[in-house]
Amino acid sequence: MPQPVELPHEPRADGDPMGTPADDETVLWKGRPDPHVLARTAMHTRSLAVYFAVLVGVWVFSGNPNAAITFAVLGVIAIAILYSIAWFSARTTLYILTETRLIMRIGMAIETRINVPLRHVQAANLRARGSGHGDITLELGGERLLGYVLLWPHVRPWHLHRPQPMLRAVPDAAKVAEMLADSCAAIGEIERGKAGAATGDERPAPAAHAGSASFAASRRAPSPVRLEEATA
pLDDT in tens, 3-52: 444 444 443 433 345 567 777 788 899 999 999 999 999 999 999 999 99
Beta bridge partners of residue 228, listed in sequence order: 193, 216
pLDDT in tens, 112-138: 888 888 888 888 899 999 989 999 999
Domain coordinates of the chain in residue numbers? 37-90, 116-231
Tally of CB atoms within 10 A around 180? 24
Per-residue pLDDT averaged across 82-105, rounded?
93
How far is residue 14's CA from residue 45's CA, in Å, rounded to a whole number? 35
Per-residue pLDDT averaged across 130-147, rounded?
84
Looking at per-residue pLDDT, the higher value among 198 and 31 belongs to: 31
Q: How much is the mean pLDDT over the chain? A: 76
pLDDT in tens, 61-80: 999 999 999 999 999 999 99
Percent of the chain surpassing pLDDT 90: 44
Judged on CB neighbours under 10 Å (0-12, 13-18, 19+), 193 is: middle
Asked whether the predicted pLDDT for residue 219 surpasses 70, the reply is no
Nearest-10 crossing angle of helices 45-61, 65-91 = 170
